[in-house]
A and B are shown apart, each in its own frame.
Chain A
């Protein structure tokens, strides 16, 4: 365990933020390359169309010197890939070319690239490329994609069904029949995306002299990119280097292998020149992966005192035209059916999932994958059940959580759980909210015609997913991370990590871990990463895994260096290393704490004065270690969120008044980082609850592909977000951390939907589609009035 007096656990300001605040961030677009060419894509204006021909002549006439490269030409240097999974033989996904070759399957799919000396010229050229199209019928309405007469996204598959499955335990039909109260709902979760501030960016530089490919880009998993580029462009892996400089947010969006990004490398290989491409905001809406897009019908039965008898869930997830390479597109739906009501004791559960293709941008993983849906569905049903049984919703939760004696357990949805702390989180949250007085105030205001609502939702957050999921899938994605920790001659420490920094501050937390292991101050530790050629191999940033996996690797590497330092110190001091310790930037006497020799002396001697060492001593002042979670399939975090809001029942406006989160992410390395992850996550959850939606017409045209119409939450409309912690370190690792990056997004939509429905309860109105809009509230009220 970390020294409680050390850096771990302390709210240290992160050093990297200072650099960014000084305007010294270096994002991919800031980098300069001699001889650079710029690329712009010609994208399909149709959701589904055959490409009859591509004529570059008008573009070449308009922009002398430009090059137009078609999908077919790119295919000569880049093999297509397929988003299938070895462990899911029934899941289908057809081969995908980097750039469409003879058929475009979503509005926005790239069909050709124009390359010129500036971005403006490349866009001028791209605008003039003449493509002859034959529009085809598109599948673009979620609830109709599996109909008999639906247009087929991939005719060769014979159906739009990508995957279907069912799971469960017990006999939920019988259990629901026997329940005293049965509540049910049909829920809808809109298609949306992750909207990082910095756009996806790639600068690919193929050097025909050496045969090397160097890619700088804004990517969460450079190793996966390296592997894909090597295999699909046929370049030996040691000649491919992927560098991720500063990244302005990812949220999962930058985790995937994108055809347009791979095409930039292909074009660089064809031209032998560095080529740059930055997705612009309007393109991002039709090319970044989309997520959610799910319809769920669910039923819950409770007995007279509110105990769960059984639960039934039927989910339909709509993908885009493809899944993503190596990242199962069915995760959104699988997480929904696996995680629903996972914190509650229940013996009877059944779930069905169908996943279907549509003519829309490919689907991928966005912060919290499916879990906000699982949470919102189950928590809303529990609130309704509480209403039906006449029990306070908080009390109903308390009655239903697994008890401490139940652990370890496997939920009916199939989650292996070693330990959770929902009851402690709930008690703390209820205290922070002042739940009783909020309820009293709500009742008073209701008499004055003011509709306040309170929502309290319990969530689980699956983090740090390990090899049990990714290994058998055959994906070339590592669930391991690595670190090298090195003592510099001055006694300062450098850490080289495979953990990718996207703005979450993980590198600052790694410095705190190193600091504790080596008895130095956190600001004496430098952390670098983001380069596949020079850092240990790893997985990257996803599944809230940075500290749990990458942090453990750092803990181990720093531990190895600690042992080496003590060994060297022992030989310098002629002391038994077992009597030595590290603290205060020095090797000290373990028993008395008395400093014996400064780390700067160890560094100086270990690097420069080998002549003074006894023969046979080889100082080893850099240590590399890796860690892959081997004892559990994932680290399950949990918590509770609360929302208080007011609904104007005449206008449908929602005013968010306050938001609370109590979460348990195991050991906290830096509470400031955790709290900002939670707050940022809640804000994205608010986006999903109230604003964000990719709107499509029936022909698959996106109707709101700009920030004028795709709404995201803005600071002025946000409530205060109060964060409290419960700390239950996991036992599988030395550090005991779990992830915290997605918790806010998992629980916020549920808390808000519950609060809105609580506010509408006196009117008998219900909203079950996210995002909730003023119009949907007015419609729900009108429907309730009409009976």
Chain B
């Protein structure tokens, strides 16, 4: 379990990173926290020629709040996000999700940007980004652009990011008054990738839900926004009947991929159970 040979470079500036990406494209791989990349190298599942270590790039660090938007730098470590008062206040869903992301040692190095760029379908943060309407800022030698989370994830480890682009930050609208979030996940062991996971976000007035946004992970090859299930709850007073309708509708939204940890049918069942519980909790939280 030794990685094949690769070249390694640790640039000091963002421009240098972008130039290297422009030059090497798919031959190069960005090294952020290394928690996913290093195992794939050691298992020889991936053989990049060049690793570009971005850990020295100051612009990619930090978490801030401005004009109703939280900016999470690509290099913000999971542990930093977990402890951030800004995240706790403005992005309660992400605060709730963080303890489910891996384990302490991995959270100390793993990064927010790494998790988004990797696009593991069972990961928590991509689904939170989808539910919360996040935007990802990508930079390349050609310039910058911003991609909405809902159109960023294309499939298993596949995203809209071009080979010459660096994810530099994620921008997420802060929770607005009257809104609530709820996050739930099931895994074989705490910290494992999910068998099923749901991110709920909605305006809750008494027990009436509006602007309902349900996103799922651990189900398909990418995080999935559940249009039908969200619509089934929209404008409704939360009740057992509405819960059943939401669960029923979910069958149209999700087409889970089964594996030996859980079959497709089990994953759909679990997503339904979690959705009911997550909305119960969100409504009860008032």
Contacts of A207 in B (CB 8 A): none
B190 adjacent to A717 (CB under 8 Å): yes
> Is A711's beta carbon under 8 Å from chain B?
yes
> Is A775's beta carbon under 8 Å from chain B?
yes
Q: Mark B252-277, 1 if CB is under 8 A from A, else 0.
A: 00000000111100100110011000
Question: Beyond A651-B270, A711-B189, A774-B195, is A123–B43 a contact (Cβ under 8 Å)?
Answer: no
> Is A119's beta carbon under 8 Å from chain B?
yes
Identify which of B3, B189, B266 contacts A717 (C-beta below 8 A).
Answer: B189
> Is B145's beta carbon under 8 Å from chain A?
no
> Is A653's beta carbon under 8 Å from chain B?
yes
> Is B7's beta carbon under 8 Å from chain A?
no
Question: Beyond A119-B2, A123-B2, A650-B273, is A775–B191 a contact (Cβ under 8 Å)?
Answer: no
CB distance from A279 to the nearest CB of B (A): 10
**CA–CA, A124 to B2, complex, Å?**
9
Q: Mark A85-127, 1 if CB is under 8 A from B, else 0.
A: 0000000000000000000000000000000000110011001
**CA–CA, A717 to B192, complex, Å?**
12
> Is B186's beta carbon under 8 Å from chain A?
yes
Total chain A interface residues with beta-carbon distance under 8 A = 27
Q: Is the interface of B mostly helix, strand, loop or mixed?
A: loop
Identify which of B5, B44, B260, B269 contacts A778 (C-beta below 8 A).
Answer: B269
B260 adjacent to A695 (CB under 8 Å): yes
A127 adjacent to B44 (CB under 8 Å): yes
**CA–CA, A157 to B94, complex, Å?**
60
Q: Mark B167-203, 1 if CB is under 8 A from A, else 0.
A: 0000000000000000000101111110100000000
**CA–CA, A704 to B188, complex, Å?**
14
Identify which of A123, A282, A653, A704 contacts B260 (C-beta below 8 A).
Answer: A704
B43 adjacent to A282 (CB under 8 Å): yes
Contacts of A119 in B (CB 8 A): 2
B188 adjacent to A711 (CB under 8 Å): yes
Residue of A nearest to B262 (CB): A775
Contacts of B5 in A (CB 8 A): 120, 124
Contacts of A704 in B (CB 8 A): 260
Contacts of B263 in A (CB 8 A): 775
Total chain B interface residues with beta-carbon distance under 8 A = 24
CB distance from A694 to the nearest CB of B (A): 11
Which residues of B85-110 have CB atoms within 8 Å of chain A's CB atoms?
Answer: none
Contacts of B270 in A (CB 8 A): 651, 774
> Is A703's beta carbon under 8 Å from chain B?
yes
Residue of A nearest to B43 (CB): A282
**CA–CA, A777 to B23, complex, Å?**
53
**CA–CA, A171 to B192, complex, Å?**
51
> Is A398's beta carbon under 8 Å from chain B?
no
> Is B4's beta carbon under 8 Å from chain A?
yes
> Is A716's beta carbon under 8 Å from chain B?
yes
Contacts of A650 in B (CB 8 A): 273
> Is A281's beta carbon under 8 Å from chain B?
yes
> Is B1's beta carbon under 8 Å from chain A?
yes
Residue of A nearest to B270 (CB): A651
Residue of A nearest to B195 (CB): A774
Which residues of A678-716 have CB atoms within 8 Å of chain B's CB atoms?
Answer: 691, 695, 703-704, 706, 708-709, 711, 713-714, 716
A651 adjacent to B2 (CB under 8 Å): no
B186 adjacent to A651 (CB under 8 Å): yes
> Is A280's beta carbon under 8 Å from chain B?
yes
B1 adjacent to A282 (CB under 8 Å): yes
Contacts of A282 in B (CB 8 A): 1, 43
Contacts of B273 in A (CB 8 A): 650-651
CB distance from A774 to the nearest CB of B (A): 7
**CA–CA, A281 to B1, complex, Å?**
8
Identify which of B1, B4, B266, B274 contacts A124 (C-beta below 8 A).
Answer: B4
**CA–CA, A775 to B188, complex, Å?**
10
Contacts of B261 in A (CB 8 A): 709, 773, 775
Question: Beyond A651-B186, A704-B260, A774-B186, is A716–B2 a contact (Cβ under 8 Å)?
Answer: no
Which residues of A746-787 have CB atoms within 8 Å of chain B's CB atoms?
Answer: 773-775, 778
Contacts of A695 in B (CB 8 A): 260
**CA–CA, A773 to B261, complex, Å?**
8
Residue of A nearest to B274 (CB): A651
CB distance from A58 to the nearest CB of B (A): 15
Question: Beyond A120-B2, A282-B1, A774-B195, is A716–B260 a contact (Cβ under 8 Å)?
Answer: no
Residues of B within 8 A of A (CB): 1-5, 43-44, 186, 188-193, 195, 260-263, 266, 269-270, 273-274
Extra contacts besides A651-B274, A703-B260, A774-B270 (17): CB < 8 Å = A123-B1, A123-B2, A123-B44, A282-B1, A650-B273, A651-B273, A706-B43, A709-B260, A711-B188, A711-B189, A717-B190, A773-B261, A774-B262, A775-B262, A775-B263, A778-B266, A778-B269
A–B Cβ pairs within 8 angstroms, 14 of them: A120-B2, A124-B5, A650-B273, A653-B186, A709-B260, A711-B189, A717-B189, A773-B262, A774-B188, A774-B266, A774-B270, A775-B262, A775-B266, A778-B269
Closest 4 CB pairs of A and B: A120-B2, A280-B1, A650-B273, A775-B266
